[in-house]
Homo-oligomer: A and B are copies of this chain.
Amino acid sequence: MAKPKKTPRPKAETPKGFRDYFGAEVTQRAEMLRKIAAVYHRYGFDALESSGVETVEALGKFLPDVDRPNEGVFAWQEDAEADKPGDWLALRYDLTAPLARVYAQHQNDLPKPYRRYAMGPVWRNEKPGPGRFRQFYQCDADTVGAPSVAADAEICAMLADCLEEVGIPRGDYVIRVNNRKVLNGVLEVAGLADDDKDRERGIVLRAIDKLDRLGVEGVQALLGEGRKDESGDFTNGAGLSIAQIDKVLSFVTAKEQAAEDLAAALEIERQSNPGFDGRLSAMKGSFGSVGPMDSYKPEEYQTVFLLTFLKKLVAGSKAGEEGVDELGQIYLALFDQGYGPDRIIIDPSVVRGLGYYTGPVYEAELTFDIQDEKGRTRNFGSVAGGGRYDDLVKRFTGHEVPATGVSIGVDRLLAALQAKGRMTSSEAGPVVVTVMDRDRMADYQKMVADLRRAGIRAEVYLGNPKNFGNQLKYADKRGSPVAVIEGGDEKERGVVQIKDLILGAQIAESATLEEWKDRPSQFEVPRDDLVAKVREILRQHGLPDGSSEA
């Protein structure tokens, strides 16, 4: 008889592109999400939790990132029922598509506007890369059914509050605000708005988005004849006229040009006014909707000049002018509430990839430097972004519903806090009560119960107690601050030994005997003083000593 074939053992592996998170990685993320949720809640947003699974039909066949239109979702078909084929289901790829579905499904029961926050994992069926996983967290807040840019302004302010709440101090971040309508206005005045200019428009948008990498000259080449890159490959250009190129480049360099205009205006005023105090009294061609120049403080001039420059640039395009006016309203609302240009700035270079944005867009960038994986110093970069999308609900209902919202990249923000040393990457382990005599397990469990009742994190060693060294190795691996020992002798005398493992490690590592001889790291105390002594040691090391929980 043939031997039965053994089934091979399964591989113990996460699927490619997925990973496990341990200990502090989990609790720190939870703590950060709790803080962000508290800010969202204070701003009046209500929690929503939809499931990870949606119908492919409801999600739509598009992914938010236009740069990777072919990247997909994880999808599968349900079993057929009777003669009806099964629905196609998929894991959600963001929290915005489910929101549109929820709003359309429950619109009769929801308050209007509907303001909700949501947090949880999303999944992307993409090729995984270094630091890029196929499941990750998002943490969103959106207002659905509010056409006013007051809703956009509020979300920018809330984003600033969130960043400060989790530990990014003012000065270490900036929130950049732009408006898609301004870009559309530029395309319109450059004669690129018509349907038959699709190809040119595509090249222009991609070129603008690459400004960081290509510089103004590279963009200029792409707008005109085309561009040869370092490897010699040639990219076809949009073939625009000089006048058209000028319009687009003016937009791309608006910030710099507005800054020059401002410097010139200040210089003129300085020369013509001997008592010049740094305040502009008037400005020719001032940006209408933000009022006369002398109502602004000097730190606002840059924004006012930028808006004025943009307004002139898009003059004649209704969408463009409306876009600049909206930026002005957002800027004013935020400045009034104390969110000045030290935190939130208008920046026409913000494009954001998502095709569905229709109005204001915003992006939070961390401005401090870090070392990247190749050891190069660079800006930490974007950790959150969002904008106005007025068409998403329409897919379901046929009616346009104005909406705006933000998504915080949870894992990137967490990495930023770790990079800045605002979060330690480990947490204190439990007090470990060792087992000297396995027949007296009940005694050790009693000690642990006493410690826990006092709010102190503690456990009895539950592995094989035979090798005492293994018990101390275990305490070390857990990062335990304290070990408790009670042998037969101690039991008889009614005492326990308490080892300060943190101090012990310090002594072993760095000190001369002389220096430490007066600071023992092991103490014998009466059994009844166990909790008090452990608490004292924890407090000395600045660890939670349970007193707030007991």
Contact = CB atoms under 8 A, between A and B. Distances in A.
A111 B459 contact: no
Give the secondary structure class of A's interface. mixed
A162 B159 CA distance: 35
Contacts of A458: 42-44
A283 interface: no
A332 B14 contact: no
A495 interface: no
A511 to B, nearest CB: 27
Copies in the complex: 2
A211 interface: no
Interface residues of A, number: 101
Given A336-B446, A459-B44, A104 B12 contact: yes
A415 interface: no
Contacts of A18: 51, 53
Contacts of A15: 51, 53-55, 78, 87, 89
7 smallest CB-CB distances across A and B, nearest first, come from A44-B459, A12-B104, A44-B430, A26-B47, A146-B462, A76-B76, A12-B105
22 contacts: A12-B102, A12-B396, A15-B51, A15-B53, A15-B89, A20-B105, A26-B47, A26-B48, A43-B452, A46-B478, A52-B121, A52-B123, A53-B134, A76-B76, A115-B459, A143-B462, A146-B463, A150-B462, A154-B459, A332-B442, A336-B445, A336-B446
Interface of A: 9-16, 18-27, 30, 34, 37-38, 41-44, 46-55, 57-58, 60, 74-76, 78, 87, 89, 91, 101-102, 104-106, 111-113, 115, 121, 123, 134-135, 143, 145-148, 150-151, 153-154, 157, 161, 332-333, 336-338, 395-398, 429-430, 432, 441-442, 445-446, 449, 452, 455-460, 462-464, 474, 477-478, 549
